[in-house]
A and B are shown apart, each in its own frame.
Chain A
Amino acid sequence: MLMKYLFAKNDEIPAGSATIFFGFSSIFWFVVGTGLGSFNAAKLAFPDWVTGTELFAFGHMRQVHVLAVIVGWISMAFGMTMMYMTPALGNTRLWSEKLGLWTVFLWNVGLSLGLILLWMGITSGREYSDLIWPIDLVVIFGVLVPLGINVWMTIAHRKTQGIYITNWFFGACIFMVTITILVGQSPEIFNLTGLTEAYLTFWHAHNLLGLWITPVAAGIAYYTIPKLTGNPLYSHRIGHLHFWAIIAFYSTPASHHLMSAPLPEWLKSFASVEGVLILIPAVAFVANILLTMKGKWSLFVENLETKFSITGVLLAIPLNMQGGFQQTRAINWYVHGTGWIVAHAHLALLGMSSFLEAAAVYFGLQQMLRRKLYSLTLGNLHYWFFIIGFCIYWISMTIAGLIQGAGKIYEVPYIDVVVAEHPYMIARWVGGTMVFTGNVVWLYNMWMTAREGTLVPEGRYPHELAYER
């Protein structure tokens, strides 16, 4: 069906097609990514499980898990939300449905190719920029630029006076992530070496999170919560504070990832201070969304999408409290390189961000398919597997990280740290497997929604209808 639309006239493609293909792709990659995560965790707990081949070696699969989740699930969910939120907020149609479909097509092809190469060990050897630079050029010119053109043109052709905060984030973040990837890949293309390469690797890694994943996820919440609750956003001014503080503060602290490398000390100190200032946009965001919920807190329990969304916002509180302070010299020396950081990264990507996107994908797919969710029971099952699995993962890895940090400063022989961490490695595997199981349920539920969900009448929202199953 995708092939048919790729070569159809733009006007003949039904509105929402790009959203739907993006949505199902993102859920598919979420299943793949978390499945790989669960497999990797099993290998850390039981190293003698599946050996003798490089195909299932931990070192060949770890980066595939990370990029399948970031580029496949999270970023494609972003693409999906941009395809339906941007036109809805501009009271117009998507600028080009056809371009959107080409974007999702190239995205899936490029990502599959890149991940297969990574799996085979064809890598640049730079964390988060593991994909070789020809694939990165596909990411920039085949994915981000078309996505950007679609979003920017839709915003420019809007039929409203102002631009809502969500579209500010969408428009700016696509531009900033393109710059980030261009600069981040320059060491590979121009063979920049040494500390320049090391610094740019983490400049890219930090800005990928700070200028893409966190702010776009927040922008999504600015749409879903007012939409689902019917309340207007608590304050647009606080929203603007959030937006400009992200641009000003989140684009600078890259070197706090390399606090123990021989980088210039002024740069580390600057990054550390800017890192604490990230709390300004963080607090603005959380306060704004939670205050928007005023009078509608019952929906946190009753409405599935709100439940996902608010869980993500609540997880942003520990996320930013950790993120703001763990990078200062006073704390970083203790937790750097330990499981604490792994727990923090999963709190950001699997916790805060993924819950916000899951809510938007649930809502957007029902809205664009014009069908009510197939089963609330399966939806709730997904939620509880997701949150319980995540909490098991997060808590066990945080404890493992603190053990590792203590082992580091008290100079415990490393093997004793490995022994002490073993139970938490098993817990991590159990938690990750629960998240994976929940996602399989989600994919089934969404597939059945597309086929058998109750039709939503014109002029109504899916969340206004009663569930039939």
Chain B
Amino acid sequence: MAFRQHKLGAAGVGLMLGFSMMITLFGPSNDFRSGVSTWVGLDKQLSLGRLIGFSYEDPTVSGEGKPITVILDKDPKTGAAIDPPVRAYVYKAGTKFSPGINHNELLGPGVEELSTGIGKIGSASMSSGAVFTVSKGEFNGEEVDYIENTTATRGWTPDAALRTAGDENTRYVGKGKTIYITEGCWWCHTLLPEQTQDWQAFGAPPFLGDFNGEMPTAFGSDRKAPDILHVAARNSSREWMTMHFFNPRLVQPNSIMPRFNYLWGRTDINGNPIDIKAWSKEYDEYLAGNRIYPPEVPEPARDSEVRALIDWVLTSLK
């Protein structure tokens, strides 16, 4: 048995697989690296944090340890009015930073220089927390968006930013995207309008720099429902979203979307218990024609999962 067929074969398989991996893995890595973060990309990574899905900081994937997005119409330090209001990303002490803060090269040429330079993101500290915004600057004669560490540049602290915003201007975007992942919304909805006719109905397809620092991207592959990358641009009503999540058939009789009434938790915003069985019974009576109106949909509690989910939809999917 001088001729060992399996040795020759193993070498051949290794060579061919290595060659195909050179093309399909090493090849595109240069193209990906050259992607310059757009405003959408920076907004996404700052509002979502280090990563969504299973991680050390959030092992049960319930949205723990995510940054909080706030809309500020007043300077948290000086109290001076800000017009138009600015979107800020609050990282409380201990919240893990989004990938671009620690790995600046992910931001892409230009954005990296401005963020580390005038944006001072290098001085942000995870242990004491930070507040970031996306600002406009100029690099080599071209306008670029960059990350500004306002804790260093303007003295905004996480606590002050949250207090200034108040509940009505606070958006739990990071937690909301986590719910999108755990509830499997992406098994039916996509976040990727196609480059063909699709964009006329569902909006513009995303750009190369729209994803830097996002994990997971959750494009979705199997569309059993509309693309929702720009859904908030088509419908920005929080009331509609609330009813639609509780029971989609309340606002769209032909929808096949599941009821997400379990995302309300046990109590509504006023602390009253939510009885889903009783609600369903009253709804069935409404369907049977014994009631004129369907039962009221409870208003979600501040810390409920559906509140965060609606925050994410209305804030990020524009």
A residues near B (Cβ < 8 Å) are 43-45, 47-48, 51-54, 57-60, 62-63, 121-127, 132-133, 155-156, 161-163, 168, 171-172, 175-176, 179, 183, 187-188, 191-199, 201, 203, 244, 247-248, 251-252, 254-255, 257-258, 260-264, 267, 270-271, 333, 336-339, 341-342, 404, 408-409, 411, 414-415, 418-419, 422, 425
Contacts and interface: CB of A to CB of B under 8 A. Distances in A.
A198 B53 CA distance: 14
A52 B259 contact: yes
A156 B187 contact: no
A187 B213 CA distance: 11
Contacts of B1: 161
Contacts of A176: 13, 17
B186 A194 contact: no
Interface in B102-118: 106
Contacts of B5: 162-163
Contacts of B201: 411, 414
Contacts of B261: 51-52
> Which 3 pairs between the two chains have the least Cβ-Cβ distance?
A59-B184, A121-B182, A125-B181
B215 A60 contact: no
A261 B181 CA distance: 20
Given A133-B54, A194-B214, A251 B17 contact: yes
Given A47-B256, A163-B9, A337 B206 contact: no
B32 A418 contact: no
A52 B260 CA distance: 7
Contact of B206 (A247, A262, A411, A418): A262
Contacts of A58: 184, 187-188, 258
A43 to B, nearest CB: 7
Contact of B213 (A194, A201, A258, A411): A194
A121 B216 CA distance: 15
Interface of B: 1, 5-6, 9-10, 12-13, 16-17, 20-21, 23-25, 27-29, 31-32, 35, 41, 45, 50-54, 59-61, 99, 106, 181-188, 190, 192-198, 200-201, 205-208, 210-226, 248-249, 252, 254-262, 276-277, 280
A211 B208 CA distance: 29
A171 B6 contact: yes
A418 B200 contact: no
Contacts of A193: 45, 51, 99, 106, 211-215
Given A175-B13, A252-B20, A409 B196 contact: yes
A59 B185 contact: yes
29 contacts: A51-B259, A54-B262, A58-B188, A121-B184, A122-B54, A122-B59, A123-B182, A125-B53, A132-B54, A183-B25, A193-B99, A194-B41, A194-B211, A195-B32, A247-B13, A247-B16, A251-B17, A252-B20, A254-B24, A257-B221, A260-B193, A260-B194, A262-B206, A262-B207, A267-B27, A336-B194, A337-B220, A415-B252, A415-B254
Contact of A196 (B32, B41, B196, B221): B32
A59 B217 contact: no
Given A172-B13, A194-B213, A337-B222, 17 more contacts: A121-B61, A123-B54, A125-B181, A125-B186, A127-B221, A172-B9, A191-B99, A194-B106, A194-B211, A252-B23, A260-B196, A336-B194, A338-B223, A411-B197, A414-B201, A415-B252, A418-B254
A212 to B, nearest CB: 13
A228 to B, nearest CB: 26
A262 B50 CA distance: 22
Nearest to B222: A342
Contacts of A172: 9-10, 13
Chain B interface mostly: loop
Contacts of A339: 224
Contact of A123 (B45, B53, B99): B53
Contacts of A168: 9
Contact of B256 (A54, A161, A408, A418): A418
A188 B256 CA distance: 32
A110 to B, nearest CB: 16
B92 to A, nearest CB: 20
A339 to B, nearest CB: 8
A422 B253 CA distance: 13
Nearest to A61: B184
A187 B55 CA distance: 12
A403 B234 CA distance: 24
Contacts of A198: 211, 216-217, 219
A126 B216 contact: yes
A194 B61 contact: no
B32 A251 contact: no
Contacts of B215: 187, 191-194, 197
Contacts of B185: 59
Given A172-B9, A194-B217, A415-B254, A261 B223 contact: no
B280 A52 contact: yes
Contact of B6 (A51, A163, A196): A163
